[in-house]
Chain A
Amino acid sequence: MEKESSSLRNLLGIYSPTYAPDDPSMNVSVHSSNTNTPLLSPYLNVNPYAIQEPEFILPEGASRQRGRLEYAFGAIGGSVILGAGVGGFSGLYRGLQETKGQPAKIRRTQLINYVVKRGATSGNALGIMALMYSGFGVLLNWVRDDDDFNTIGAATATGLLYKSSAGLRKCGVGGLVGAGLASAYVLWSRANNNRSLASLVGSTRF
């Protein structure tokens, strides 16, 4: 009777601190298959209050445990999806405006064309940029230690490469835009103590 009531308490997850060798509720096999009431080994009965508080293995502020390569695919995929989404919506808007007054069936096809075409174009462009940036970032990290100059260097190289076949002037402008964006990001993340950003996006680093 005593055993049953205590095992019921265990089952309900009510913490009983009186674990002792003479406690009959301790004498329960882990594999309890012979009775109808599934008895739980007291060793499996954990006080839920013990695991209420979140515990971190890593010290606070350790925002950079993962390398650039581990974030590369996520960053590229995110860029593709973001670009496709933005492009798709702008295509939808543009298509709705330009196909006013057309029969519904034609309009529908036209709208799909607008969305797909614009979404693909901007998604591909943004994805290629992210791919270049990630590639350069991984390369730079391979050559030298990871720091903010790698971010700026990778972004500059991305801008230069992306506009490399559009003439020297545009190439330079592309590099400058990359360097400017990366510098702004670095300054911003430094101003935010490198930590608030990490908590904002789950310590993701683009």
Chain B
Amino acid sequence: MEEYAREPCPWRIVDDCGGAFTMGAIGGALFNAIKGFRNAPRGMTHRMTGSLTAIKARGPIVGGNFAVWGGLFSTIDCSLIKMRGKEDPWNAIISGATTGGILAARSGPGAMLGSAIIGGVLLAMIEGVGIMFTRITSEQFKPLTPEEQMQMMQQDPNFMGFNPQGDPNLQSA
């Protein structure tokens, strides 16, 4: 459903970057709040201080890492849309793998390959779940055959929204 509400392509990069930053910053703040709380020395004051320090130090960095991921992913996605002329799950999978690879570029070819595989598999899973949900929701709107319709109407006379036998307007017509 989100797909239809998204911005058109060049602006999508900025939007995705911001969304990823928001997600990372809030999630990172929560995560680091707990982590700082646990790692701080004994005493409630120390723990609260440690929690706050960890949020301030690490929260934005997690957000920034997410933003880089989201922005790069979206950039490659948009480029693929333009190049291939279509929007399909392969775009997301390819851009996920490419993004993973590019962001691990400074760690050597082995790390690049590993990150690329992880990125591609991750995005494939996300796309797979999305397709699954679409399948499940589209099941509700499947058109019925006339036989099925008759069957449903025998079970529930008001199935079609009205009852042809019971409707006085229809009977007089």
Contacts and interface: CB of A to CB of B under 8 A. Distances in A.
Contacts of B61: 120, 124
Main secondary structure of the interface of A (DSSP, over half): helix
A120 B24 CA distance: 14
A127 B67 contact: yes
Nearest to B65: A120
10 contacts: A74-B18, A75-B18, A77-B13, A79-B18, A80-B17, A80-B18, A125-B60, A128-B60, A131-B22, A131-B63
A80 B52 contact: no
Contacts of A123: 64, 67
Contact of A72 (B11, B18, B56): B18
B21 to A, nearest CB: 5
Interface of A: 72-81, 112, 120, 123-125, 127-128, 130-131, 165
Contacts, number: 69
Given A73-B18, A73-B22, A77-B16, A124 B7 contact: no
A74 B64 contact: no
Interface in B49-90: 52, 56, 59-61, 63-64, 67, 71
7 interchain residue pairs of minimum CB distance? A77-B18, A76-B18, A77-B17, A124-B60, A73-B18, A77-B14, A124-B64
Nearest to A113: B106
Given A128-B25, A165-B52, A81 B63 contact: no
B127 interface: no
B71 A81 contact: yes
Interface in B3-34: 7, 11, 13-22, 25
A78 B71 CA distance: 10
Given A123-B64, A131-B63, A81 B56 contact: no
A77 B19 contact: yes
A78 B18 contact: yes
